[in-house]
Amino acid sequence: MPRAPSSSTTYVNVTRKKQAVAVQAQHFTHFDGKGQAHMVDVGAKEVTHRVARAGGRIAMQRATFEQIRAGTMAKGDVLLVARVASIAASKRTADLIPLCHPLPLTRVAVEFSFDENEPAVTIEVTAETVARTGVEMEALTAASVGLLTIYDMCKAVDRGMRIEGVRLLAKSGGKSGHYVAGA
């Protein structure tokens, strides 16, 4: 026998409708007019050269930092493995992020630098494509996985490492044009 909706069910339905209207008003492209998640239709967009840069850092103990820099970590060359992991992750972004379009990447570059003051290792990833949608998620995924790989390779000696500040640094191409963080 079907049950009559409870007042809490009615409240949830009203809340969802309000959320759908709020989402539509904010123009989140991954939600339709009813607030349902969907993959954005990019079929009518122009194919353009698109570039995104993302970065972040991993702070650690001084001894861990020195082992990474010297290449003496027991598991091997930490930054070499992290670079390869970053590039591989960028190519799997659509498998990891449910509403991402698979993109034909034309270039992925990964750079590391050392912050002596913290100590920390910083990553910066540049991803490029010629496509109908941006490559920000590929750059962000690559930066995140690169930092996670550093953590994985060094966790035996330093479980207190902190991944910080993963963010989009810049993007260009497409209808929305250029973006530079902090500009």
- Please say whether the beta carbons of 79 and 112 come within 8 A: yes
> Exposure pattern of 67-87 as b/e (b: 16+ CB <10 Å)?
bbbeeebeeeebbebbbebbb
- Choose among 102, 108, 89, 110: nearest CA to 131: 102
Q: How far apart are CA 61 and CA 126, in angstroms?
A: 27
- Please say whether the beta carbons of 82 and 161 come within 8 A: no
Q: How far apart are CA 116 and CA 102, in angstroms?
A: 38
Q: How far apart are CA 96 and CA 168, in angstroms?
A: 18
By annotation, the residues acting in catalysis are 152
